[in-house]
Amino acid sequence: MIIEFKSKAAGAFFMTEPVAKLVFAAIDMELSEKGIFTAEQVPAIRRKLDKAVEQSRQQDHARLEQHDDAVGSGEAISKEMPVGLSQRAFPLLDMLKAAEKKGVPIVWGV
């Protein structure tokens, strides 16, 4: 399933269902087929997502340091670094910031 996010504050974008579920879990919400972040809800949701992204970046940084240490010591690395929450959540976080600034809602649906 593909989820489309729209707001008068920014251009629309799409997320796959698994990515959208991951992002919604980061803000302690369950993904539904359609919904709205009201203008009043947007600031709190943006803060939650900002916090989750920052925690994810710190974890990614720690993993990258371990990766660099392993490469530096000549260990074979079998897996690439996974794409983190900060990359996956970027479009929604960007939209939340724009919607907060303009005081408008965000809607989503399949």
- Apex 78 CA angle, 73 and 81, nearest 5: 90
Q: What is the pLDDT of residue 74?
A: 58
Spatial distance between the Cα atoms of 16 and 94, rounded to a whole number of angstroms: 17
- Tell me the pLDDT tens digit for each residue of 18-39: 999 999 999 999 999 999 999 9
The two three-digit tokens of residue 86, written as one number: 């900060």
Single-letter code of the amino acid located at 16: T
Q: What is the pLDDT of residue 6?
A: 98
Q: Where are the domains of the chain?
A: 2-74+83-109
pTM: 0.80
Q: What is the pLDDT of residue 84?
A: 82
Per-run averaged pLDDT (10 residues), the chain, 110 residues: 97 96 96 97 98 87 63 56 83 97 97
Q: What is the pLDDT of residue 9?
A: 98
